[in-house]
Amino acid sequence: MSSNRLSSDRDVISELTTGRLSVYLRCLTYLESIGKETVSSAEMADRFHLNSAQIRKDLACFGEFGTRGVGYNVSRLKEHLVRELGIDRRRNVIIIGAGNLGMALADYRGFNDSGFRIAALIDVDPAKIGRASRTGIPVLPYSELKRIVREQNVEIAVIAVTAGAAQDVYDALVEAGLNAILNFAPVQLRTHAQVKLKSVDLRINLESLSFYLKGVEDGTT
Amino acid sequence: MSSNRLSSDRDVISELTTGRLSVYLRCLTYLESIGKETVSSAEMADRFHLNSAQIRKDLACFGEFGTRGVGYNVSRLKEHLVRELGIDRRRNVIIIGAGNLGMALADYRGFNDSGFRIAALIDVDPAKIGRASRTGIPVLPYSELKRIVREQNVEIAVIAVTAGAAQDVYDALVEAGLNAILNFAPVQLRTHAQVKLKSVDLRINLESLSFYLKGVEDGTT
DNA sequence: GCATGTGAATGGATTCACAGCT
DNA sequence: AGCTGTGAATCCATTCACATGC
Protein backbone atom coordinates (compact mmCIF):
# COMPACT_ATOMS: atom_id res chain seq x y z
CA MET A 1 0.00 0.00 0.00
CA SER A 2 1.96 2.97 -1.29
CA SER A 3 1.52 5.98 0.93
CA ASN A 4 0.62 9.31 -0.66
CA ARG A 5 -1.83 7.64 -2.94
CA LEU A 6 -2.74 10.00 -5.74
CA SER A 7 -6.20 11.44 -5.81
CA SER A 8 -6.85 9.87 -9.16
CA ASP A 9 -7.25 6.43 -7.71
CA ARG A 10 -9.61 7.47 -4.97
CA ASP A 11 -12.83 5.57 -4.90
CA VAL A 12 -16.03 7.53 -4.94
CA ILE A 13 -16.00 9.92 -2.03
CA SER A 14 -19.34 10.92 -0.64
CA GLU A 15 -20.70 14.41 -0.48
CA LEU A 16 -20.77 14.15 3.28
CA THR A 17 -17.09 13.32 3.40
CA THR A 18 -16.06 16.19 1.14
CA GLY A 19 -18.07 18.61 3.24
CA ARG A 20 -16.12 17.49 6.27
CA LEU A 21 -12.83 17.83 4.40
CA SER A 22 -13.62 21.52 4.00
CA VAL A 23 -14.25 21.74 7.71
CA TYR A 24 -10.97 20.04 8.50
CA LEU A 25 -9.17 22.39 6.15
CA ARG A 26 -10.55 25.38 7.97
CA CYS A 27 -9.49 23.91 11.27
CA LEU A 28 -5.99 23.17 10.03
CA THR A 29 -5.63 26.69 8.68
CA TYR A 30 -6.44 27.95 12.13
CA LEU A 31 -4.06 25.55 13.85
CA GLU A 32 -1.30 26.54 11.47
CA SER A 33 -1.92 30.21 12.20
CA ILE A 34 -1.38 29.66 15.92
CA GLY A 35 1.80 27.74 15.26
CA LYS A 36 0.66 24.22 16.06
CA GLU A 37 2.72 21.66 14.18
CA THR A 38 0.97 18.43 14.97
CA VAL A 39 -2.59 17.41 15.71
CA SER A 40 -4.28 14.12 16.55
CA SER A 41 -7.62 12.95 15.27
CA ALA A 42 -8.92 12.91 18.83
CA GLU A 43 -7.99 16.54 19.28
CA MET A 44 -9.79 17.58 16.12
CA ALA A 45 -12.76 15.46 17.09
CA ASP A 46 -13.06 17.46 20.28
CA ARG A 47 -12.95 20.81 18.51
CA PHE A 48 -16.06 20.12 16.41
CA HIS A 49 -17.89 17.40 18.10
CA LEU A 50 -17.15 14.57 15.81
CA ASN A 51 -15.96 11.02 16.17
CA SER A 52 -12.21 10.55 15.86
CA ALA A 53 -12.53 7.37 13.84
CA GLN A 54 -14.56 9.25 11.28
CA ILE A 55 -11.88 11.87 10.91
CA ARG A 56 -9.22 9.22 10.43
CA LYS A 57 -11.35 7.43 7.85
CA ASP A 58 -12.04 10.63 5.98
CA LEU A 59 -8.38 11.52 5.86
CA ALA A 60 -7.30 8.03 4.97
CA CYS A 61 -9.26 8.25 1.71
CA PHE A 62 -6.27 9.93 0.15
CA GLY A 63 -3.50 7.82 1.53
CA GLU A 64 -1.71 7.61 4.80
CA PHE A 65 -0.95 11.02 6.15
CA GLY A 66 -0.57 10.53 9.84
CA THR A 67 2.23 9.14 11.93
CA ARG A 68 1.25 6.47 14.40
CA GLY A 69 1.89 7.48 17.95
CA VAL A 70 2.17 11.12 16.93
CA GLY A 71 -0.69 12.41 14.82
CA TYR A 72 -0.88 14.53 11.69
CA ASN A 73 1.52 17.21 10.55
CA VAL A 74 -0.66 20.30 10.35
CA SER A 75 0.97 22.08 7.41
CA ARG A 76 1.49 18.97 5.37
CA LEU A 77 -2.08 17.81 5.84
CA LYS A 78 -3.44 21.26 5.10
CA GLU A 79 -1.49 21.54 1.87
CA HIS A 80 -2.74 18.16 0.90
CA LEU A 81 -6.39 19.00 1.51
CA VAL A 82 -6.01 22.20 -0.48
CA ARG A 83 -4.76 20.14 -3.38
CA GLU A 84 -7.43 17.48 -3.00
CA LEU A 85 -10.20 20.06 -2.94
CA GLY A 86 -8.78 21.56 -6.10
CA ILE A 87 -8.31 25.02 -4.66
CA ASP A 88 -4.57 25.11 -5.12
CA ARG A 89 -5.28 27.36 -8.08
CA ARG A 90 -7.83 30.11 -8.58
CA ARG A 91 -11.22 29.20 -10.00
CA ASN A 92 -13.34 31.86 -11.65
CA VAL A 93 -16.98 32.20 -10.66
CA ILE A 94 -19.88 34.14 -12.12
CA ILE A 95 -23.10 35.02 -10.37
CA ILE A 96 -26.29 35.17 -12.42
CA GLY A 97 -28.73 37.70 -11.03
CA ALA A 98 -27.57 41.05 -9.68
CA GLY A 99 -30.41 41.44 -7.21
CA ASN A 100 -30.03 41.67 -3.46
CA LEU A 101 -28.74 38.19 -3.01
CA GLY A 102 -26.43 38.18 -6.02
CA MET A 103 -24.86 41.46 -4.96
CA ALA A 104 -24.37 40.25 -1.41
CA LEU A 105 -22.74 37.03 -2.57
CA ALA A 106 -20.48 38.91 -4.94
CA ASP A 107 -19.06 40.91 -2.06
CA TYR A 108 -18.98 38.01 0.36
CA ARG A 109 -15.58 37.22 1.81
CA GLY A 110 -14.95 33.56 1.37
CA PHE A 111 -16.30 33.81 -2.13
CA ASN A 112 -13.46 36.09 -3.09
CA ASP A 113 -10.82 34.31 -1.16
CA SER A 114 -8.11 31.74 -1.59
CA GLY A 115 -9.15 29.51 -4.43
CA PHE A 116 -12.03 31.51 -5.82
CA ARG A 117 -12.57 34.77 -7.64
CA ILE A 118 -15.89 36.30 -8.65
CA ALA A 119 -15.30 37.36 -12.23
CA ALA A 120 -18.66 39.04 -12.82
CA LEU A 121 -22.29 39.47 -11.96
CA ILE A 122 -24.65 38.86 -14.84
CA ASP A 123 -28.14 40.25 -15.32
CA VAL A 124 -30.73 40.95 -18.00
CA ASP A 125 -31.84 44.29 -16.57
CA PRO A 126 -30.36 47.14 -18.68
CA ALA A 127 -30.58 49.41 -15.64
CA LYS A 128 -28.10 47.22 -13.78
CA ILE A 129 -25.70 46.43 -16.58
CA GLY A 130 -22.54 48.50 -16.49
CA ARG A 131 -22.82 49.17 -12.79
CA ALA A 132 -20.83 47.27 -10.17
CA SER A 133 -21.14 45.80 -6.68
CA ARG A 134 -19.74 47.67 -3.69
CA THR A 135 -16.42 45.90 -4.00
CA GLY A 136 -16.31 46.52 -7.71
CA ILE A 137 -17.57 43.33 -9.33
CA PRO A 138 -19.01 44.47 -12.68
CA VAL A 139 -22.52 43.65 -13.85
CA LEU A 140 -22.43 42.32 -17.39
CA PRO A 141 -25.23 41.50 -19.82
CA TYR A 142 -26.80 38.05 -19.80
CA SER A 143 -26.76 38.06 -23.58
CA GLU A 144 -22.97 37.89 -23.42
CA LEU A 145 -22.96 34.85 -21.15
CA LYS A 146 -21.18 32.49 -23.49
CA ARG A 147 -18.48 34.97 -24.38
CA ILE A 148 -17.84 35.87 -20.74
CA VAL A 149 -17.55 32.23 -19.72
CA ARG A 150 -15.10 31.55 -22.51
CA GLU A 151 -12.97 34.66 -22.26
CA GLN A 152 -12.78 34.77 -18.48
CA ASN A 153 -12.28 31.07 -18.14
CA VAL A 154 -15.25 30.67 -15.81
CA GLU A 155 -15.66 27.27 -14.16
CA ILE A 156 -18.41 27.78 -11.59
CA ALA A 157 -21.73 29.62 -11.76
CA VAL A 158 -24.03 30.73 -8.98
CA ILE A 159 -27.74 31.06 -9.71
CA ALA A 160 -29.24 33.94 -7.76
CA VAL A 161 -32.32 34.68 -9.83
CA THR A 162 -36.00 34.18 -9.08
CA ALA A 163 -37.53 30.73 -8.92
CA GLY A 164 -39.30 31.33 -12.21
CA ALA A 165 -36.16 32.12 -14.16
CA ALA A 166 -33.87 29.52 -12.62
CA GLN A 167 -34.51 26.60 -14.96
CA ASP A 168 -33.83 28.67 -18.07
CA VAL A 169 -30.67 30.06 -16.53
CA TYR A 170 -29.56 26.58 -15.53
CA ASP A 171 -30.03 25.31 -19.08
CA ALA A 172 -28.17 28.29 -20.50
CA LEU A 173 -25.27 27.71 -18.14
CA VAL A 174 -24.98 24.09 -19.15
CA GLU A 175 -25.17 25.17 -22.76
CA ALA A 176 -22.38 27.66 -22.12
CA GLY A 177 -20.21 24.77 -21.01
CA LEU A 178 -20.24 25.06 -17.23
CA ASN A 179 -19.89 21.90 -15.16
CA ALA A 180 -20.44 23.15 -11.63
CA ILE A 181 -23.41 25.20 -10.48
CA LEU A 182 -24.54 26.49 -7.11
CA ASN A 183 -28.25 27.25 -7.02
CA PHE A 184 -30.03 29.56 -4.58
CA ALA A 185 -33.40 29.61 -6.30
CA PRO A 186 -36.12 27.70 -4.44
CA VAL A 187 -36.95 25.24 -7.18
CA GLN A 188 -36.26 21.64 -7.97
CA LEU A 189 -34.20 21.97 -11.12
CA ARG A 190 -34.45 19.43 -13.87
CA THR A 191 -30.79 18.57 -13.97
CA HIS A 192 -28.32 17.45 -16.55
CA ALA A 193 -26.05 14.53 -15.77
CA GLN A 194 -22.34 15.32 -15.68
CA VAL A 195 -23.06 18.80 -14.38
CA LYS A 196 -22.56 19.04 -10.64
CA LEU A 197 -25.33 20.94 -8.93
CA LYS A 198 -25.47 22.05 -5.32
CA SER A 199 -28.55 23.79 -4.05
CA VAL A 200 -28.94 26.03 -1.04
CA ASP A 201 -32.56 26.55 -0.16
CA LEU A 202 -32.87 29.28 2.43
CA ARG A 203 -36.58 28.85 2.84
CA ILE A 204 -36.26 25.17 3.71
CA ASN A 205 -33.82 26.00 6.47
CA LEU A 206 -36.29 28.37 8.06
CA GLU A 207 -39.09 25.87 7.79
CA SER A 208 -36.96 23.26 9.42
CA LEU A 209 -36.42 25.58 12.37
CA SER A 210 -40.12 26.27 12.52
CA PHE A 211 -40.79 22.54 12.59
CA TYR A 212 -38.45 22.21 15.53
CA LEU A 213 -40.19 25.02 17.40
CA LYS A 214 -43.53 23.41 16.70
CA GLY A 215 -42.22 20.23 18.27
CA VAL A 216 -41.10 22.08 21.38
CA GLU A 217 -44.49 23.76 21.68
CA ASP A 218 -46.26 20.44 21.40
CA GLY A 219 -43.93 18.94 23.96
CA THR A 220 -42.34 16.47 21.59
CA THR A 221 -38.93 18.14 21.99
CA MET B 1 -54.65 2.68 14.06
CA SER B 2 -56.44 5.98 14.26
CA SER B 3 -56.01 8.00 11.12
CA ASN B 4 -55.10 11.68 11.46
CA ARG B 5 -52.68 10.88 14.17
CA LEU B 6 -51.71 14.04 15.95
CA SER B 7 -48.23 15.38 15.48
CA SER B 8 -47.56 15.10 19.17
CA ASP B 9 -47.18 11.35 19.04
CA ARG B 10 -44.86 11.35 16.07
CA ASP B 11 -41.62 9.52 16.63
CA VAL B 12 -38.43 11.37 15.99
CA ILE B 13 -38.47 12.59 12.42
CA SER B 14 -35.13 13.00 10.75
CA GLU B 15 -33.74 16.23 9.41
CA LEU B 16 -33.73 14.68 5.96
CA THR B 17 -37.41 13.91 6.14
CA THR B 18 -38.41 17.37 7.27
CA GLY B 19 -36.38 18.91 4.44
CA ARG B 20 -38.38 16.82 2.01
CA LEU B 21 -41.65 17.84 3.64
CA SER B 22 -40.82 21.43 2.73
CA VAL B 23 -40.22 20.34 -0.82
CA TYR B 24 -43.53 18.50 -0.96
CA LEU B 25 -45.28 21.53 0.45
CA ARG B 26 -43.88 23.70 -2.29
CA CYS B 27 -44.99 21.19 -4.88
CA LEU B 28 -48.49 20.97 -3.44
CA THR B 29 -48.80 24.74 -3.39
CA TYR B 30 -48.01 24.71 -7.08
CA LEU B 31 -50.42 21.90 -7.85
CA GLU B 32 -53.17 23.69 -5.94
CA SER B 33 -52.50 26.87 -7.90
CA ILE B 34 -53.08 25.06 -11.19
CA GLY B 35 -56.27 23.54 -9.87
CA LYS B 36 -55.20 19.94 -9.41
CA GLU B 37 -57.28 18.21 -6.77
CA THR B 38 -55.57 14.88 -6.39
CA VAL B 39 -52.03 13.64 -6.76
CA SER B 40 -50.39 10.24 -6.41
CA SER B 41 -47.03 9.55 -4.81
CA ALA B 42 -45.78 8.25 -8.15
CA GLU B 43 -46.70 11.52 -9.81
CA MET B 44 -44.84 13.56 -7.24
CA ALA B 45 -41.90 11.20 -7.43
CA ASP B 46 -41.63 11.96 -11.12
CA ARG B 47 -41.68 15.70 -10.64
CA PHE B 48 -38.56 15.79 -8.46
CA HIS B 49 -36.79 12.63 -9.10
CA LEU B 50 -37.49 10.75 -5.97
CA ASN B 51 -38.72 7.32 -5.03
CA SER B 52 -42.46 7.04 -4.56
CA ALA B 53 -42.14 4.75 -1.55
CA GLN B 54 -40.07 7.37 0.17
CA ILE B 55 -42.72 10.00 -0.36
CA ARG B 56 -45.40 7.72 1.03
CA LYS B 57 -43.27 6.92 4.05
CA ASP B 58 -42.52 10.57 4.68
CA LEU B 59 -46.18 11.48 4.51
CA ALA B 60 -47.29 8.54 6.56
CA CYS B 61 -45.29 9.85 9.53
CA PHE B 62 -48.25 11.98 10.43
CA GLY B 63 -51.07 9.58 9.89
CA GLU B 64 -52.91 8.28 6.88
CA PHE B 65 -53.64 11.02 4.43
CA GLY B 66 -54.07 9.28 1.15
CA THR B 67 -56.87 7.27 -0.31
CA ARG B 68 -55.92 3.89 -1.70
CA GLY B 69 -56.59 3.61 -5.36
CA VAL B 70 -56.85 7.38 -5.67
CA GLY B 71 -53.96 9.30 -4.15
CA TYR B 72 -53.71 12.37 -1.97
CA ASN B 73 -56.07 15.30 -1.82
CA VAL B 74 -53.86 18.24 -2.73
CA SER B 75 -55.46 20.94 -0.57
CA ARG B 76 -55.98 18.77 2.41
CA LEU B 77 -52.43 17.45 2.38
CA LYS B 78 -51.03 20.92 1.87
CA GLU B 79 -52.94 22.33 4.81
CA HIS B 80 -51.72 19.47 6.88
CA LEU B 81 -48.07 20.00 6.00
CA VAL B 82 -48.39 23.69 6.75
CA ARG B 83 -49.63 22.80 10.20
CA GLU B 84 -47.00 20.12 10.75
CA LEU B 85 -44.21 22.49 9.77
CA GLY B 86 -45.57 25.00 12.22
CA ILE B 87 -46.05 27.76 9.68
CA ASP B 88 -49.79 28.03 10.09
CA ARG B 89 -49.04 31.15 12.09
CA ARG B 90 -46.48 33.88 11.58
CA ARG B 91 -43.07 33.48 13.23
CA ASN B 92 -40.93 36.53 13.85
CA VAL B 93 -37.31 36.47 12.79
CA ILE B 94 -34.38 38.79 13.49
CA ILE B 95 -31.17 39.00 11.54
CA ILE B 96 -27.98 39.81 13.40
CA GLY B 97 -25.52 41.68 11.22
CA ALA B 98 -26.67 44.35 8.80
CA GLY B 99 -23.83 43.85 6.35
CA ASN B 100 -24.23 42.78 2.74
CA LEU B 101 -25.55 39.37 3.53
CA GLY B 102 -27.85 40.42 6.36
CA MET B 103 -29.39 43.13 4.22
CA ALA B 104 -29.90 40.76 1.32
CA LEU B 105 -31.54 38.16 3.52
CA ALA B 106 -33.80 40.77 5.10
CA ASP B 107 -35.22 41.65 1.71
CA TYR B 108 -35.32 38.10 0.45
CA ARG B 109 -38.73 36.89 -0.63
CA GLY B 110 -39.37 33.61 1.05
CA PHE B 111 -38.01 35.05 4.25
CA ASN B 112 -40.85 37.55 4.35
CA ASP B 113 -43.49 35.21 3.17
CA SER B 114 -46.24 32.99 4.48
CA GLY B 115 -45.20 31.90 7.90
CA PHE B 116 -42.28 34.21 8.50
CA ARG B 117 -41.71 37.89 9.07
CA ILE B 118 -38.38 39.65 9.49
CA ALA B 119 -38.95 41.88 12.49
CA ALA B 120 -35.58 43.64 12.44
CA LEU B 121 -31.95 43.72 11.47
CA ILE B 122 -29.58 44.14 14.39
CA ASP B 123 -26.09 45.58 14.36
CA VAL B 124 -23.49 47.15 16.61
CA ASP B 125 -22.36 49.78 14.10
CA PRO B 126 -23.82 53.19 15.08
CA ALA B 127 -23.60 54.26 11.45
CA LYS B 128 -26.09 51.56 10.48
CA ILE B 129 -28.49 51.83 13.39
CA GLY B 130 -31.63 53.75 12.59
CA ARG B 131 -31.37 53.09 8.89
CA ALA B 132 -33.38 50.43 7.07
CA SER B 133 -33.10 47.84 4.32
CA ARG B 134 -34.50 48.56 0.88
CA THR B 135 -37.83 47.03 1.78
CA GLY B 136 -37.92 48.90 5.05
CA ILE B 137 -36.68 46.46 7.68
CA PRO B 138 -35.21 48.69 10.43
CA VAL B 139 -31.69 48.30 11.80
CA LEU B 140 -31.78 48.27 15.59
CA PRO B 141 -28.97 48.33 18.15
CA TYR B 142 -27.42 45.09 19.32
CA SER B 143 -27.46 46.40 22.87
CA GLU B 144 -31.24 46.20 22.78
CA LEU B 145 -31.27 42.56 21.70
CA LYS B 146 -33.05 41.17 24.72
CA ARG B 147 -35.73 43.81 24.71
CA ILE B 148 -36.38 43.40 20.99
CA VAL B 149 -36.70 39.65 21.30
CA ARG B 150 -39.14 39.98 24.14
CA GLU B 151 -41.26 42.82 22.83
CA GLN B 152 -41.47 41.64 19.26
CA ASN B 153 -41.99 38.04 20.23
CA VAL B 154 -39.04 36.83 18.16
CA GLU B 155 -38.63 33.08 17.78
CA ILE B 156 -35.89 32.65 15.20
CA ALA B 157 -32.55 34.41 14.72
CA VAL B 158 -30.27 34.47 11.71
CA ILE B 159 -26.55 35.00 12.29
CA ALA B 160 -25.04 37.02 9.44
CA VAL B 161 -21.95 38.41 11.13
CA THR B 162 -18.27 37.65 10.60
CA ALA B 163 -16.77 34.36 11.66
CA GLY B 164 -14.97 36.05 14.53
CA ALA B 165 -18.12 37.48 16.08
CA ALA B 166 -20.42 34.53 15.54
CA GLN B 167 -19.79 32.60 18.75
CA ASP B 168 -20.45 35.62 20.95
CA VAL B 169 -23.60 36.41 19.03
CA TYR B 170 -24.74 32.82 19.31
CA ASP B 171 -24.26 32.84 23.06
CA ALA B 172 -26.09 36.15 23.38
CA LEU B 173 -29.01 34.81 21.36
CA VAL B 174 -29.33 31.75 23.55
CA GLU B 175 -29.10 34.01 26.58
CA ALA B 176 -31.89 36.15 25.12
CA GLY B 177 -34.08 33.07 25.07
CA LEU B 178 -34.06 32.03 21.44
CA ASN B 179 -34.44 28.36 20.58
CA ALA B 180 -33.89 28.31 16.84
CA ILE B 181 -30.91 29.79 15.04
CA LEU B 182 -29.79 29.84 11.43
CA ASN B 183 -26.07 30.49 11.08
CA PHE B 184 -24.30 31.80 7.99
CA ALA B 185 -20.92 32.42 9.58
CA PRO B 186 -18.23 29.96 8.50
CA VAL B 187 -17.39 28.59 11.91
CA GLN B 188 -18.12 25.50 13.91
CA LEU B 189 -20.16 26.94 16.77
CA ARG B 190 -19.92 25.49 20.22
CA THR B 191 -23.58 24.76 20.62
CA HIS B 192 -26.05 24.61 23.41
CA ALA B 193 -28.32 21.61 23.69
CA GLN B 194 -32.04 22.34 23.33
CA VAL B 195 -31.28 25.15 20.91
CA LYS B 196 -31.80 24.09 17.32
CA LEU B 197 -29.02 25.26 15.06
CA LYS B 198 -28.89 25.03 11.28
CA SER B 199 -25.81 26.21 9.48
CA VAL B 200 -25.43 27.27 5.89
CA ASP B 201 -21.81 27.42 4.89
CA LEU B 202 -21.48 29.05 1.51
CA ARG B 203 -17.76 28.48 1.32
CA ILE B 204 -18.12 24.74 1.78
CA ASN B 205 -20.54 24.58 -1.11
CA LEU B 206 -18.05 26.24 -3.41
CA GLU B 207 -15.28 23.95 -2.27
CA SER B 208 -17.44 20.96 -2.92
CA LEU B 209 -17.93 22.12 -6.49
CA SER B 210 -14.22 22.68 -6.84
CA PHE B 211 -13.60 19.17 -5.61
CA TYR B 212 -15.92 17.87 -8.27
CA LEU B 213 -14.16 19.84 -11.00
CA LYS B 214 -10.83 18.55 -9.76
CA GLY B 215 -12.16 15.04 -10.13
CA VAL B 216 -13.24 15.70 -13.72
CA GLU B 217 -9.83 17.17 -14.55
CA ASP B 218 -8.10 14.13 -13.14
CA GLY B 219 -10.41 11.87 -15.06
CA THR B 220 -12.02 10.35 -11.99
CA THR B 221 -15.42 11.85 -12.91
C1' DG C 1 -57.54 -2.12 -11.05
C1' DC C 2 -54.97 1.12 -8.70
C1' DA C 3 -52.41 3.56 -5.21
C1' DT C 4 -51.58 3.67 -0.30
C1' DG C 5 -49.17 2.13 3.86
C1' DT C 6 -45.65 -0.77 5.66
C1' DG C 7 -42.65 -4.96 7.03
C1' DA C 8 -38.53 -6.84 5.08
C1' DA C 9 -34.31 -6.24 2.40
C1' DT C 10 -30.79 -3.44 0.96
C1' DG C 11 -27.36 -0.03 0.95
C1' DG C 12 -24.53 3.70 3.22
C1' DA C 13 -22.47 5.99 6.71
C1' DT C 14 -20.90 6.06 11.41
C1' DT C 15 -18.87 3.99 15.29
C1' DC C 16 -16.37 0.40 17.69
C1' DA C 17 -12.40 -1.96 18.73
C1' DC C 18 -8.04 -3.47 17.90
C1' DA C 19 -3.90 -4.78 15.21
C1' DG C 20 0.16 -2.47 13.74
C1' DC C 21 3.57 1.12 13.59
C1' DT C 22 6.69 4.81 15.83
C1' DA D 1 2.68 4.39 25.60
C1' DG D 2 0.24 6.63 22.03
C1' DC D 3 -2.19 7.29 17.81
C1' DT D 4 -3.08 5.81 13.15
C1' DG D 5 -5.49 2.89 9.81
C1' DT D 6 -9.09 -0.35 9.13
C1' DG D 7 -12.13 -4.72 9.31
C1' DA D 8 -16.32 -5.76 11.79
C1' DA D 9 -20.45 -4.24 13.97
C1' DT D 10 -24.02 -1.00 14.31
C1' DC D 11 -27.08 2.39 13.08
C1' DC D 12 -29.97 4.95 9.92
C1' DA D 13 -32.10 5.86 5.40
C1' DT D 14 -33.76 4.31 1.17
C1' DT D 15 -35.88 0.98 -1.73
C1' DC D 16 -38.48 -3.17 -2.70
C1' DA D 17 -42.49 -5.72 -2.77
C1' DC D 18 -46.86 -6.82 -1.33
C1' DA D 19 -51.02 -7.03 1.60
C1' DT D 20 -54.74 -3.84 2.31
C1' DG D 21 -58.48 -1.00 1.13
C1' DC D 22 -60.96 2.11 -2.15
For B13-44, the DSSP string reads --HHHHHHHHHHHHHHHHHHHTT--EE-HHHH
Tens digit of each residue's pLDDT (9 = 90 or more) over B78-101: 999 999 999 999 999 999 999 999
| A9 pLDDT tier (thresholds 50, 70, 90) | very low
Per-residue pLDDT for B149 more than 90? yes
Would you list the DSSP string of B166-202?
A: HHHHHHHHHHTT--EEEE-SSS-----TTSEEEE--H
Partner-chain contact A47 B188, CB within 8 Å: yes
Query: Which pLDDT value is given to residue B11?
Result: 67
Query: Which pLDDT value is given to residue A2?
Result: 34
Whether A68 CB is under 7 Å from strand D? yes
A153: contact with B, CB 8 A cutoff: no
CB A124 within 8 A of CB A150: no
| A81 pLDDT tier (thresholds 50, 70, 90) | very high
Query: Which pLDDT value is given to residue A168?
Result: 98
Query: Which pLDDT value is given to residue B62?
Result: 86
Helix (H, G, I), strand (E, B) or coil at B45: helix
If one compares B147 and B64, the residue with the highest pLDDT of the two is B147
Strand partners, B40: none
CB B24 within 8 A of CB B59: yes
| A221 pLDDT tier (thresholds 50, 70, 90) | low
Per-residue pLDDT for B202 more than 50? yes
Per-residue pLDDT for B76 more than 70? yes
Query: What residue is closest to D16 (Cα–C1')?
Result: B53
Whether B164 CB is under 7 Å from strand D? no
Across A170-186, average pLDDT: 97
Partner-chain contact A116 B155, CB within 8 Å: no
The amino acid that residue A45 corresponds to is: A
Tens digit of each residue's pLDDT (9 = 90 or more) over B93-146: 999 999 999 999 999 988 888 899 999 999 999 999 999 999 999 999 999 999
Tell me A99's DSSP state.
S
A7: contact with B, CB 8 A cutoff: yes
Query: Which pLDDT value is given to residue A60?
Result: 94
* Buried/exposed A170-203: b ≥16 CB within 10 Å, e otherwise: beebbebebbbbbbbbbbbbebeeebbbbbbbbb
What is the distance, to the nearest Å, from the Cα of residue A129 to the centroid of all Cα atoms in its chain? 27
Task: Give the CA-to-C1' distance from B8 to C22 in angstroms.
Answer: 55
Q: Which of A100, A180, A206 sits opposite B116 (nearest CB)?
A: A206
Partner-chain contact A212 B196, CB within 8 Å: yes
Per-residue pLDDT for B218 more than 80? yes
Query: Which pLDDT value is given to residue B78?
Result: 97
Across B137-164, average pLDDT: 98
Query: Which pLDDT value is given to residue A220?
Result: 61
Torsion angle, CA of B153/B154/B155/B156, rounded to 10 degrees? 170
If one compares A122 and B112, the residue with the highest pLDDT of the two is A122
If one compares B27 and B219, the residue with the highest pLDDT of the two is B27
Query: Which pLDDT value is given to residue B83?
Result: 95
pLDDT, mean over chain B: 92
Partner-chain contact A206 B93, CB within 8 Å: yes
Query: Which pLDDT value is given to residue A154?
Result: 98
Per-residue pLDDT for B8 more than 50? no
| B4 pLDDT tier (thresholds 50, 70, 90) | very low
Tens digit of each residue's pLDDT (9 = 90 or more) over B27-72: 999 999 999 999 999 999 998 889 999 999 999 988 888 999 999 9
